[in-house]
Amino acid sequence: MGSGVQLQVLVFYSMNQVPLRIAFIQLDIAWESPEENYRRVEAALSGLNQSVDVIVVPETFTTGFSDHMDVLSESPHGSTYQFAYRMAKQYEALFVGTWPVFDNLQNGIYNRMHLVSPDGECRIYDKAHTFRMSSEVSQLSRGRLREVFEWKGWRILPAVCYDLRFPKWLRNRFDGESLEYDLMLLCANWPVSRKDAWNTLLKARAIENLCYVLGVNRCGTDGNGIIYSGDSVALDYCGFPLAHCPEYKSSLQCVTFNAEKLVEFRHRWPFYLDAD
């Protein structure tokens, strides 16, 4: 061109512009009691007065963050998968949550996030960062695979609790044409003693990755005497809260994420083009 000016042409990922409606449950988890927790989730969902696309429950929602995962772990298609499938089918929504699974193929127990669709298809993510300040690091195997899943035109990055502290693992990478994902879904058992870190890191992950973030935490006191305030929250790409649960209380909340606004913001503020 002679002027020395380089013209960069960008091709943006085109979402289908359909809003994503999510119901999330902040649960006081009954200690090591799957059947009781099924009942509590069902009771919470009975208050749902609108159709949704996704239902999200906290990390280890059937047992709490127990020291007995070897005893509590299930087969990949055990009773909790059957419960999740039933809820997904009943509400015609993707059901998302974690529970301990013994995987014969990998010969290990995993804190496994399941994304169960109404047709019974189950996509999985194994928690990558096991919490070394607890028995989790000795009980459970680490997941090694980071994946992005698509649901109703939305690209979703799953993450579990301690993963939140590792921005490199969660980085929304730009491949020259588009960012990897639109929504980060994070299930947790994050105690009240570190609630400031929870609130700060959720906002940071939303802002730095130009994405929506949903953090779903438990509340109440577990069998080890650890207290959880909840602070479950849905954030937009600027880190602003769109919906949240009250502290220390079981709660069902709904949020709608707007694809069009996300695309517009990314077009106007393409910070990722200057990423390291």
At 248-261, the pLDDT tens digits run: 999 999 999 999 99
Question: Average pLDDT for residues 82-106, to the nearest whole number?
Answer: 95
For the chain, domains (ranges, CATH) are 22-271 (3.60.110.10)
Cα separation, 32 vs 121, in Å, equals 26
Cα dihedral 232, 236, 241, 243 in deg (nearest 10): -60
* d(C-alpha 59, C-alpha 53), whole Å: 19
Closest alpha carbon to 126 in 142, 150, 139, 138: 142
Neighbours of 145 (CB within 10 A): 8
Residue 196: phi and psi, rounded to 5, are -65, -40
CA–chain centroid gap for 121, Å, is 18
Q: pTM of the entire structure?
A: 0.93
pLDDT, tens only, 190-215? 999 999 999 999 999 999 999 999 99
Going by C-alpha positions, the residue among 207, 204, 227, 208 that lies closest to residue 217 is 227
The closest of 175, 153, 159, 118 to 257, measured between CA atoms, is 153
> For a pLDDT cut of 90, what percent of the chain falls above it?
87
Give me the active site residues, please.
Answer: 59, 127, 161
171 CB contacts (<8 Å, ≥6 apart)? 209
Tell me the pLDDT band of 13, cut-offs 50, 70 and 90: low
